[in-house]
Amino acid sequence: MIGTYLVWPSRYNVMAHLNVGFIFIAYFIPAVILKDQDDFSSDVVSLYTLILCVGALFYIIGLYLGFLIKPVRFSNFSFALLDTETYKSRIIKVTKVFLIGGIVGQTLGYLMMGFVPAFAADPVAAKFFRGEYQVPFYVSMVYLSSFFILTTVTPIAIIVWYNNKKKKLFLIGAIFAVALMSVSLSRGPAFSGVVLAIAIIMSFKNRWTFTFLIIFLISIYLLSSVFYFVIGVRDFDKVSSNFKDDHLFWRVASAGSIDIQDQLTFMDFFSKNPLWTYGRTVLGGLIPSHYEWNPAVYTLRVTNPGEEITTLISGGKRLASPIWGYVSFQWVGVVAFCFLSGFLKGLFLKFTKYWIYRSQSILIATVIIVINISIFAALSDFFILSIYALPPVIVLMFYAFRVKVN
Per the CB < 8 A criterion, the answer to whether 25 and 257 are in contact is: yes
Per the CB < 8 A criterion, the answer to whether 402 and 78 are in contact is: yes
Residue 331's pLDDT is 97
Closest Cα to residue 7, out of 351, 394, 346, 237? 346
Per the CB < 8 A criterion, the answer to whether 309 and 301 are in contact is: yes
For 221-238, what is the mean pLDDT?
A: 63
- DSSP single-letter state for residue 380: H
- DSSP single-letter state for residue 69: S
Distance CA 218, CA 211 (A): 12
User: Which of the four pLDDT bands, split at 50, 70 and 90, describes residue 122?
Assistant: confident
Which residues have a Cβ under 8 Å from the Cβ of 238 and sit 6 or more positions away? none
Distances in Å between the alpha carbon of 167 and those of 147, 155, 223, 231, 380? 23, 14, 30, 32, 35
Distance CA 383, CA 258 (A): 21
Stretch (H or E) spanning 158: helix 137-163
The more confident residue out of 306 and 44 is 44
Stretch (H or E) spanning 6: none
Residue 234's pLDDT is 58
Per the CB < 8 A criterion, the answer to whether 305 and 273 are in contact is: yes
Per-position DSSP letters for 49-105, written without gaps between them? HHHHHHHHHHHHHHHHHHHHSPP---TTSHHHHS-HHHHHHHHHHHHHHHHHHHHHH
Distance CA 220, CA 217 (A): 5
The more confident residue out of 251 and 92 is 92
- The predicted model scores a pTM of 0.88
For 151-177, what is the mean pLDDT?
A: 93
Q: Is the pLDDT score of 165 beyond 70?
A: yes
Q: What is the mean pLDDT of the chain?
A: 88
Residues in the chain: 406
Per the CB < 8 A criterion, the answer to whether 314 and 300 are in contact is: yes
User: Which of the four pLDDT bands, split at 50, 70 and 90, describes residue 73?
Assistant: low
Positive or negative, the CA dihedral 200, 202, 207, 210 is negative
Q: Is the pLDDT score of 79 beyond 90?
A: no
User: Which of the four pLDDT bands, split at 50, 70 and 90, describes residue 239?
Assistant: low
